Amino acid sequence: MIKLERLTKIYETPVRKVVAADHIDMEVPTGEICVLLGPSGCGKTTTLKMVNRIVTPTGGRVLIDGQDTTDIPTVELRRKIGYVIQQIGLFPNMTVEENICVVPRLLGWDAAKARRRAAELLELTALDPATFLKRYPKELSGGQQQRVGVARALAADPPVMLMDEPFGAIDPINRAAIQDEFLKLQEKLHKTILFVSHDIDEAVKMGDKIAIFRAGRLEQIDSPDNVLAHPAQPFIADFVGADRTIKRLGLIRVADAMTSDAPVLSLGADPVLAQAMLHESGAAALVIVTPEGKPHGFMTAASSFGPGSTCGHASTPIAASVSVAADLRTAVSRMFENDVEWLSCVDDEGRHVGALEMRRIRHLLGRTYEAGGRA
Amino acid sequence: MNDRPVSGRAMGCVGSKVGEWLLWGAIIAVALGVLRWIDLPEMLRRYGGDIVHLAVQHLGLAALSGGLAILVGIPVGIILSRPSFAKISEPGARVLTIGSTIPSLAILALSMSWLGIGTPPAVFALWAVTLLPIVRNTMAGLRGVDPYLLEAGRGMGMTPMQLLVRVELPNAMYVLLAGVRTALAINVGTVPMAFLIGGGGLGELIFTGIDLNEPAMMLAGAIPTAGLAVLVDFSLGLIAYYLVPRGVNPLR
Ligand SMILES: Nc1ncnc2c1ncn2[C@@H]1O[C@H](COP(=O)(O)OP(=O)(O)OP(=O)(O)O)[C@@H](O)[C@H]1O
Ligand SMILES: [Mg+2]
């Protein structure tokens, strides 16, 4: 756990005093990512650098797992903290392998073990070891350099990581890919991470918590959904954007929003039964599934059918479905594409496991505002 | 995406090769011209013994003063670029810049007025002439290392010494060695003048040849001197090529 207590930094410039961090109080529980978010110059980097004492605090203290960091020799402290700087900072005189091995070698690992670790980490960050180990930083693209920067910070398996805009210098598509890979990695590694960003979308995606800074002060620290749903100040509401409620869609999985208790019928069932069930449940539509459980079509109260026909014949084909693993942003996008009010939700095998209605999404997002309280 | 820097490097290599061959061609042409003008066997018969004796003296002067300048200049450059010396490194660099505009001949004269005549004042003057560019380039090289690399190194838990050896020096090496190369070129170019304050060396043949209006004698000193300068520069280029790490070496 990282705990900041009244952490303060005042820079004395010849012109005036700059209060870069003003009595910051916060904590990051073990295994969580906390994103420091805010406009340029608000003190995110300064706060981060006080944790590994690159910047010496003017006041307050930093505790890691309850231990005051001033009680640990600086060099020792830093070797236990993975550090990704804003400018990447790979050493140009060293190969990728040598860069990754820096901290392990400082810690006295033997060369063979450090090299094995380097190969393993490249694999983990989705770079082919055979191709990249012996390259120099200048022979890598920006995105590849950032991956190596992350691999280097992970090298000695530090429990705590400080990451200053680690995915800043890459195009949006590659950034999304690295973010996804890193989140997958974090599921396995459970590092305690302070992560600086000035991009609200990145913060919402990466953070278990978001800490919003302005002019050296910590203005709000909360879960991404609460920051979006209940910005504590007009400044934060502005900063997270007028479309903040749409952004919340990205935080909810289809699996958590769909209704899975609605009845379904198989292809061969009697349409009369379908009409009766629709009438009884009051649902707008009833999904007809194939023998494998895949969505085939749907019936409404208005569906017409001749005597002796089956549900298979009487149903209308389903226009669109969505994976249960997707988020609501994707789901809503698909609804708009197909001009429909609901989607069939399918699992990995493509089986229908529930339905997602627009009405339900509106309700889900709106509820937290009606109650006036927090979800 | 990864191919571009590689092919760029290959191009640079070819470019410098061509330049090198042109240079050698010019040197050989000049040498041939000179050889046609003088009687080489006759020259060697008359001055051969002197050439060997004086060349050894000449090399000794260059090696001693140059070696001492490297041994002192690099550490001084490193110390002056440490953060704790930040206050004096700025004025220090300015003094060094002014210092290197003083002509070598003036430094020889100053050295003689202080230490008298003979080998010690000659070595001292040559050492002073060579020292300044080495200190200056060592400082410039170290100061040119990207501050973010220092922060990254510090943040990973390097001690100041580890930072210097693993990050700062390798990244400053190219500029640092360029300084050594320039300095030694100045050194070798100045050694003949050491004769003027009694330091000996091939300058003896050159200046005496001029005085006696004896071209053969002058050339007996000048040709080995020139050959020596080319040799020193060439070997330093070679050393720099292999000593500068590949990732920061624009030549490879
Ligand atoms: N060494 C320094 N001396 C004086 N002022 C500084 C120093 N470092 C930072 N500051 C000031 O402290 C404030 C916070 O800087 P900091 O680098 O923490 O901002 P940031 O939130 O990381 O910004 P960005 O998003 O642009 O990286 C700024 O006003 C900056 O000008
Ligand atoms: Mg910053």
With cut-offs at 50, 70 and 90, classify the pLDDT of residue A372. Answer: low
Taking residue A341's Cβ as centre, other Cβ atoms within 10 Å add up to 12
- Pick the closest to residue A314 from A349, A270, A250 (CA basis): A270
Report the amino acid identity of residue B161: M
Position B6 scores a pLDDT of 36
Task: Count CB atoms within 10 A of the CB of residue B92.
Answer: 18
Sign, CA torsion A332/A336/A341/A343: negative
Over residues A158-166, mean pLDDT: 95
Q: The tokens of A295 are what?
A: 């969505």
Q: Whose alpha carbon is nearest atom 26 of ligand 1?
A: A40
Give the ligand at the shortest distance from the Cα of A55.
Answer: 1
Size of interface A-B (CB pairs under 8 A): 79
A155 CA distance to ligand 1 centroid (A)?
A: 28
**How far apart, in whole angstroms, are the C-alpha atoms of residue A124 and residue B212?**
78
d(CA A247, CA A249): 5
| Statement: residue A48 has pLDDT above 70 | yes
A168 lines ligand 1 (CB under 6 A): no
Ligand 1 neighbour A9 (Cβ under 6 A):
no
The predicted complex's ipTM stands at: 0.81
Contact between residue A178 and residue A143 where contact means Cβ atoms under 8 Å apart: yes
Q: Is the CB of A198 under 6 A from ligand 1?
A: yes
Give the pLDDT of residue A270: 87
Which of B155, B162, B167 faces A83 most closely, judged by CB atoms?
B155
Q: Is A46 in the pocket of ligand 1 (CB under 6 A)?
A: yes
Task: State how far the Cα of A344 lies from the Cα of A262, in Å rounded to an integer.
Answer: 11
- Among all residues of chain A, which has the CA nearest to that of B159? A75
Question: How far apart are the two ends of chain B, measured CA to CA in Å?
Answer: 19
As a whole number of angstroms, the distance between CA A102 and CA A149 comes to: 12
Give the pLDDT score at B92: 83
CA A217 to chain centre: 24
| Residue A302 in tokens | 């208005």
Tokens of A43: 């003190």
Packing angle, helices B215-243 and B203-211, rounded to 10: 150
Which stretch of DSSP H or E encloses residue B22?
Answer: helix B3-37
Instruction: Give how far Cα A285 sits from Cα of A282, A298, A360, Å.
Output: 9, 6, 14
Q: With bands split at pLDDT 50, 70 and 90, how would you rate the model's confidence at A371?
A: low
The pLDDT, as a whole number, for residue B51 is 86
Query: In the prediction, which pLDDT does A220 show?
Result: 95
Q: Which residues of A touch B148 (CB under 8 A)?
A: 85, 87-89
d(CA B238, CA B233): 9
Spatial distance between the Cα atoms of A62 and A68, rounded to a whole number of angstroms: 6
Assess contact for A2 and A63: CB atoms under 8 A. yes
Residue B151: CB partners within 8 Å, gap ≥ 6?
A54, A85, A89
CB contact under 8 A, B152 and A139: no
Measured between CA atoms, the residue of chain B closest to residue A90 is B149
Strand partners for B114: none
Show which residues on chain B lie within 8 Å of chain A, measured between beta carbons. 1-2, 5-6, 146, 148-149, 151-159, 162, 166-167, 170-171, 173, 245-248
Residue range A348-368, pLDDT digits in tens: 999 999 999 999 999 888 887
Question: Is A146 close to ligand 1, i.e. is its CB under 6 Å away?
Answer: no
Q: Which residues of A touch B146 (CB under 8 A)?
A: 87, 89
The mean per-residue pLDDT over the stretch A180-193 comes to: 92
**Ligand 1 pocket check for A87: Cβ under 6 Å:** no
Whole-number Å distance, alpha carbon A191 to ligand 2 midpoint, is 21
* Whether B155 and A52 lie within 8 Å, measured CB to CB: yes
Q: Tens digit of pLDDT for each residue in A291-302? A: 999 999 998 888
Residue B19, pLDDT score: 66
**A44: confidence class by pLDDT, cuts 50, 70, 90:** very high
> Coil, strand, or helix at residue B103?
coil
Which CATH number is associated with domain A2-247? Answer: 3.40.50.300
DSSP B249: -
**Which letter, b or e, does each residue of B48-76 get, where b requires 16 or more Cβ atoms within 10 Å of its Cβ?**
eebbeebbebbbbbbeebbebbbeebbeb
* Across A52-74, average pLDDT: 95
Element (H, E) at B240: helix B215-243
Please, what's the largest Cα pairwise distance for chain B?
69
Residue B6: its chain A contacts at CB < 8 A?
Answer: 139
Atom 3 (ligand 1): residue with closest C-alpha? A11
Cβ distance of B2 and A139 shorter than 8 Å = yes
pLDDT band at A107 (very low <50, low <70, confident <90, very high): very high
Average pLDDT, chain A: 91
- Residue B166: list chain A partners with CB under 8 A: 91, 102
CATH of A254-365, one of 3.90.226.10, 3.10.580.10, 3.30.70.520, 3.40.50.720: 3.10.580.10
Domain boundaries, chain A: 2-247, 254-365
Measured between CA atoms, the residue of chain A closest to residue B247 is A93
Full 3-state SS string of B37-101: HCCHHHHHHHHHHHHHHHHHHHHHHHHHHHHHHHHHHHHHHHHHCCHHHHHHHHHHHHHHHHHCC
Query: Do residue B166 and residue A102 have CB atoms under 8 angstroms apart?
Result: yes
Q: For residue B74, what are its two tokens?
A: 């690099």
pLDDT at B45: 80
> DSSP character for B192?
G
- Tell me which residues of chain B have a pLDDT lower than 70: 1-19, 34-37
Nearest Cα residue in chain B from A153 = B156
Name the residue among A76, A87, A93 with its Cβ closest to that of B247: A93
DSSP B195: G
3-state SS class at B158: coil
- Give the residue from chain A lying closest to B154, CA to CA: A54
The ligand 1 atom at the shortest distance from the C-alpha of residue A44 is: 21
3-state secondary structure chain A: CEEEEEEEEEEECCCCEEEEEEEEEEEECCCCEEEEECCCCCCHHHHHHHHCCCCCCCEEEEEECCEEHHHCCHHHHHHCEEEECCCCCCCCCCCHHHHHCHHHHHCCCCHHHHHHHHHHHHHHCCCCHHHHCCCCHHHCCHHHHHHHHHHHHHCCCCCEEEEECCCCCCCHHHHHHHHHHHHHHHHHHCCEEEEEECCHHHHHHHCCEEEEEECCEEEEEECHHHHHHCCCCHHHHHHHCCCHHHHHHHHCEHHHHCECCCCEEECCCCHHHHHHHHHHHCCCCEEEECCCCCEEEEECCCCCCCCCCCHHHHCEECCCEEECCCEHHHHHHHHHHHCCCEEEEECCCCCEEEEEEHHHHHHHHHHHHHCCCCC
Residue A336: CB atoms within 10 A of its CB come to 10
Rounded to the nearest 10 degrees, what angle do helices B40-80 and B86-99 cross at?
Answer: 160
